[in-house]
A = this chain, B = another copy of it.
Amino acid sequence: MATPRPGNPVRGSTTGRPLMAALDLFGRRWSLRILWELRAGPLGFRPLQKRCDDMSSSVMRQRLTELLDAQVIHQLPDSRYELTPLGQEARHALNPLARWAERWAATIDPQGADHTDDQSASRVSHPDTVGDGAPERGSAD
Contact = CB atoms under 8 A, between A and B. Distances in A.
A89 B129 CA distance: 18
Given A93-B99, A96-B96, A103-B86, A12 B33 contact: yes
Contacts of A75: none
Q: Interface of chain A, helix or strand or loop or mixed?
A: loop
Given A27-B29, A101-B18, A107 B94 contact: no
Closest 4 pairs (CB-CB, A-B): A6-B105, A7-B113, A7-B121, A15-B118
29 contacts: A5-B109, A5-B112, A5-B115, A6-B101, A7-B105, A7-B109, A7-B121, A7-B122, A8-B115, A8-B118, A12-B30, A15-B117, A15-B120, A16-B117, A16-B118, A17-B120, A17-B129, A18-B129, A19-B97, A19-B101, A21-B104, A26-B32, A27-B30, A86-B103, A86-B104, A89-B100, A93-B99, A94-B96, A97-B97
